[in-house]
Amino acid sequence: MGIIDKNLSLRDRNKMLLGIWENEDKLVEATSELVHARVKIQDVYTPYPVHGLERIMGVRRSWLSIVAFLCGMTGFSLAFWMIYYMYVQDWPIDVGNKPVRFSPSWVPVLFEATVLCTAFGMAFFFFFRNRMIWGIKPELLDDRQTDDRMVIAVETGEGVDEKKVLKIMKDHGAVELREKTGGVQTTI
Length in residues, the chain? 188
User: CA 35 to CA 41: how far, in whole Å?
Assistant: 8
Q: Show the domains of the chain with their CATH numbers.
A: 10-58+139-187 (3.30.70.1110), 64-129 (no CATH)
- Among residues of the chain, what percentage have pLDDT more than 70? 89
Alpha-carbon span 69 to 73, nearest angstrom: 6
Q: Using a pLDDT cut of 90, give the percent of the chain over it.
A: 33
* Cα–Cα distance for residue pair 183/13, rounded to 1 Å: 9
- The alpha carbons of the chain give a radius of gyration, in whole angstroms, of 25
Percent helix, strand, coil in the chain, to 5, is 45, 15, 40
pTM for this prediction: 0.67
The SS3 assignment for 139 reads coil
